[in-house]
Structure 1
Amino acid sequence: MTFATPDLMDAAPNAAVIELQFRNLGAHPRFSGRAVTIKCHEDNSLVKQCVAEPGDGRVIVVDGGGSLRQALLGDMLAAEAADNGWAGLVINGAIRDVDDIAVTALGVQALGVTPRKTDKRGEGQRDIVVHIGGARIAPGDYIYADNNGVVVSAEPLL
């Protein structure tokens, strides 16, 4: 599937844009799918649980509160996500192991990088509405991500 988020916004100007400057860090610079949402702060326990499930081409949207102190995704979880059929992750926070993730068959957009892993406290929420960068993302919304940014829509745009 080929798309460009600027073209999607031209065709659907009421779609939402996550108004953050994400870095495109995965091997797939363009990815899309239905959203699975996670809200967590410096604890990637729910991300770990999620990537272990069948992805079916979906996108994990992680609201990490914008923290760059601890990575919510590393090489092992990224590899598991790719192996289980996830299209990608959009992370309002940091990742690590960027050289390995850059060659993993997965789309990954994040705010930044850090070498520090997260604590594992089992905290967070899943499958809730999250608000990131002025956009409301509900479970099941359509996510479209490329080098231009991330578009969110309740209806499919393709």
Structure 2
Amino acid sequence: MPPIVTPDICDAYPDVEVLEPIFANFGAIEAFCGQARTVKCFEDNSLVKQAVAEPGDGAVLVVDAGGSTRCAMLGDILAEQAATNGWAGVVMYGCVRDVDALAQTALGIQALGAHPRRSEKRGEGTRDIPVVIAGVTIAPGQWLYADNNGILVAQERLSLA
């Protein structure tokens, strides 16, 4: 696959949706893409933990954590598990922690920021539903493209040739 360059994708596909520019890269893989799988949860990462334990098959886990900046929803252990299980990346509409370890993890990770506090574990949340983050509705099965320039969503896989 050719490199992911979101400005070039926007030029070639003007109808792609672009998330608001509020995310920063935290993973060792700075450009990534894959079909979206979604989790909606708030200050409880139980379903994030459940998802990354499953085969990722090159998908991107999109987590609507409500934009909370009061705790981290992904850290080094879950990120390493996601990488090991074949996830291409995680887009976290919330915070992450263990950022030095995340920078060494072979996974694309974009999030709002870093926070040292871990989340609760109450088993709450929903998976595989459309989520609205950064002004864009992302449904399971859509294609997500991310790099240091931003995050894009398309209805199907795009030709990047």
Q: So what's the TM-score if we normalise by structure 2?
A: 0.96
**CA distance in 1: counterparts of 2:35 and 2:77, whole angstroms:** 23
Provide structure 2 residue ranges, at least 5 long, that are not aligned to the other structure: none
Query: Residue 139 of structure 1 corresponds to which residue in structure 2?
Result: 140
> SS of 1:72's equivalent?
strand
Superposed CA offset, 1:51-90 (max 9, x none): 0000110000001111111101000000000000000000
Residues paired across the two proteins, number: 158
Aligned counterpart, 2:102: 101
Q: CA deviation at 1:20?
A: 3.4
Corresponding residue of 2:154:
153
Aligned to 1:63: 64
Counterpart CA distance in 2 for 1:134 and 1:101 is 26
Q: Distance in 2 between matches of 1:22 and 1:148?
A: 10
Report the TM-score when normalising by structure 1: 0.98
Q: Distance in 1 between matches of 2:30 and 2:50?
A: 24
Q: Distance in 2 between matches of 1:134 and 1:78?
A: 25
2:146 alignment partner AA: A
Q: Gaps spanning 5+ residues in structure 1: where? A: none
Letter in structure 2 aligned against 1:68:
T
RMSD of aligned alpha carbons: 0.7
| 3-state SS, counterpart of residue 145 of structure 2 | strand
Separation in 2, partners of 1:134, 1:118: 24
CA distance in 2 between counterparts of 1:153 and 1:65 reads 22
Q: Write out aligned runs for 1:65-144 (5 A).
A: 65-144=66-145
SS at match of 1:77: helix
Amino acid at match of 1:147: N
Distance in 2, Cα, partners of 1:86 & 1:3: 16
Aligned mates of 2:19, 2:73 — CA distance in 1: 19
